[in-house]
């Protein structure tokens, strides 16, 4: 049985808790209770530490990081880093713990204390570019984690699979010419942020799979198998990172892809087979989008179930 570590902290509930925003505190507020209710056989829950900002510099411009950290308000003000990215007085600790969760999870996996990990974090990260916060994302959590694998542990064949319904333009931006990381993304297109066309290929390390509005479950699963799983078989990565956005769910209000709860279980199991085959099971998964609360909660539970197989 696979030991799965769940990284979560109540600080994530203090990121813009009073704002009527799709990326709201209720997205993760009840998830620990739901996980415990499921009585998974091999789960360990940990609170992540706040990241040292020097580790953020690996993925982001230093001046941008320093300036952003100084913009977090200390009172009841809501400050907008861009038009879709508000922060509040609780956002600094939440942001630093969100990025720190990936670091703690990697250390746990490398040290053999867990086989895989799911970081249930806010704010999300995959829209954050080298020198810009955007799309609810302050810093790019998965990119910071991938650079930690490269710089700390000398990994050079990392796969990032992003099944969020929005293209992870920030992750693509950060790794566009980095042969150590291969980025795969399925996403509705056109849709925010407007990137992710098939001709965006980096140095041969970017695989964008744009989906038309209304894509069905059956079509998606066929595309995922042919465009991502088969390419992962060619890549044979030595570490797998998942940008786990659940907003391709049929009930999500911000997009129009028709996946069910079971689809996310299937995707996770497929990726776990790849990890077991090539990565000794090593998977770091980090929460991105998902904005229907019930759909998100059920999809996260399904994701954890898939990681446990």
Nearest to 281, CA basis, from 266, 299, 269, 267: 269
Can you give 159-180 as a three-state secondary structure string?
EEEECCCCCCHHHHHHHCCCCC
Q: Cβ contacts of residue 222 below 8 Å, gap of 6+?
A: none
- Cβ neighbours of 280 (radius 10 Å): 12
**What is each CA distance from 266 to 37, 128, 158, 162, in whole angstroms?**
22, 28, 22, 15
| Cα atoms in the Cβ-side hemisphere of radius 13 Å centred on 107 | 10
* Cα distance between residue 167 and residue 192, in whole Å: 7
Which residues are tagged catalytic?
Answer: 127
């Amino acid at each position: 049985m696979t030991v799965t570590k769940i990284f979560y902290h109540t600080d994530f509930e203090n990121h813009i808790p009073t704002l009527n925003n799709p990326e709201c505190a209720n997205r993760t507020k009840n998830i620990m209770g739901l996980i415990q209710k499921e009585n998974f056989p091999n789960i360990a829950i940990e609170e992540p530490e706040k990241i040292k900002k020097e580790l953020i510099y690996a993925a982001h411009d230093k001046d941008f990081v320093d300036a952003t950290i100084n913009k977090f308000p200390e009172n009841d003000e809501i400050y907008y880093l861009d038009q879709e990215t508000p922060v509040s007085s609780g956002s600094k600790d939440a942001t630093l713990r969100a990025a720190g969760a990936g670091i703690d999870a990697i250390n746990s996996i490398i040290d053999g204390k867990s086989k895989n990990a799911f970081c249930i974090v806010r704010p999300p990260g995959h829209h954050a570019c080298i020198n810009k916060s955007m799309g609810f994302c302050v810093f790019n959590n998965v990119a910071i984690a991938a650079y930690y694998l490269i710089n700390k542990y000398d990994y050079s064949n990392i796969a990032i699979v992003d099944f969020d319904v929005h293209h992870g333009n920030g992750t693509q931006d950060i790794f566009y010419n980095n042969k150590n990381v291969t980025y795969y993304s399925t996403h509705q297109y056109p849709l925010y942020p407007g990137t992710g066309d098939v001709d965006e290929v980096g140095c041969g390390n970017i695989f964008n799979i744009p989906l038309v509005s209304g894509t069905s479950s059956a079509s998606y699963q066929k595309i995922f198998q042919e465009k991502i799983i088969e390419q992962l078989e060619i890549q044979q990565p030595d570490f797998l990172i998942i940008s786990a956005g659940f907003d391709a769910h049929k009930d999500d209000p911000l997009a129009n892809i028709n996946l069910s709860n079971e689809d996310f279980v299937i995707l996770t199991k497929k990726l776990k087979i790849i990890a077991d085959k090539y990565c000794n099971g090593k998977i770091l998964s980090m929460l991105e989008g998902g904005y229907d609360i019930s759909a998100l909660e059920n999809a996260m539970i399904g994701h954890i179930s898939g990681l446990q197989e």
